[in-house]
Amino acid sequence: MKKFKVLALFMVVLLLVACGKSGPGGVKKLYYPEWWQEQNNPEYVNTYGMATKVSQTMSYDAAYANAMLQAAQYVEVYVKGMVKNYEEEAGVNDPQVLALTQKVVKAVADAKFENAMVTKQETIVSEDDRYQTFVRVSIPKEAVNKNMLNKIKNEEALYNQFKASQAFDELEKEVGQYDE
C-alpha cells in the first residue's frame, strides 16, 4: 500500500510538471498595443519607440528618444560595425579553450524635425514592477521631405565644391607648366 501511495504521488507530481508549461513549446507572446506599427495617416510618418525602466518618467523619455532616433534614421544613418573572434587555450595537462565573439554595431543619425508630436502613448507595469512605455511620434511628411531635400542639397553642394577644387588644382598645374 505504501508503494502505491508513493507511485500515486509521483504520478501527480509528473502530471503537474507536464501541465505546467505555457503554451506550445513554452512560447510566450510579447505584448504590443493594437496601434503599434500603424501608418494610417498619409500626411504623417509615424515612428515608434519602446522602453522598460524602473521609473515611469525614465521609461517615457527613453521610449520617446527611441522613436525620434527611428525618425532620424529614415532620413540618414551612418553605420559602423565590427566583429571580433577571439580564442585562447590555457593549461598544460587539461587545457581549457576560452572563446569570445564580440559584435559591435554603432548607428548614428542626424536630423531636425519640425512639428513632431506624440500621438499615442501607453505605459504598463510588468510583474517585476518595471514600467514599459510604448510611444508613437507623428511627424508631418513635409518635415521629413524637407529634411531629405536639405541633406541632398548639402551633398550636392559638397560635391560641387569638390569638383571646383579639382578644377582649380588642374588650372594651377597648367599655369605651373608655363612658369617653367
Find how far residue 72's CA is from the centre of its chain.
12
43: closest CA among 115, 98, 110, 96?
115
The 10s digit of each residue's pLDDT in 144-179 is: 667 666 666 666 666 666 666 666 666 667 666 766
Spatial separation of the C-alpha atoms in residues 180 and 163, rounded to whole Å: 26
pLDDT value for 2: 58
Strands, DSSP E only, in the chain? Answer: 44-53, 77-90, 96-109, 117-125, 131-140
pLDDT, mean over the chain: 77
At 74 the pLDDT is: 73
Taking alpha carbons only, the member of 58, 47, 60 closest to residue 116 is: 47
Of the ranges 54-63, 118-127, 144-153, which one carries the lowest mean pLDDT score? 144-153
Q: Give the per-residue pLDDT at 104.
A: 79
Pick the more confident residue, 71 or 135. Answer: 135
Please give the residue that has the higher pLDDT: either 88 or 128.
128
Give me the residue spans of the domains in the chain: 32-78+107-179
pLDDT of residue 98: 77
What's the pLDDT tens digit per position in 6-41? 555 555 555 555 555 555 567 888 899 999 998 888
Class for domain 32-78+107-179, per CATH?
A: alpha beta
Query: 125: pLDDT confidence band, cut at 50, 70 and 90?
Result: very high
Q: In this predicted structure, what is the pLDDT of residue 133?
A: 96
The residues pairing with 77 across neighbouring beta strands, listed in sequence order, are: 109
pLDDT at 53 over 90: yes
**Between 25 and 49, where is the model more confident?**
49
* Backbone phi and psi for residue 145, each to the nearest 5 degrees, phi listed first: -65, -40
User: How far is the C-alpha of 122 from the C-alpha of 141, rounded, in Å?
Assistant: 24
User: Measuring CA to CA, how many Å separate 105 from each of 111, 140, 164?
Assistant: 20, 30, 36
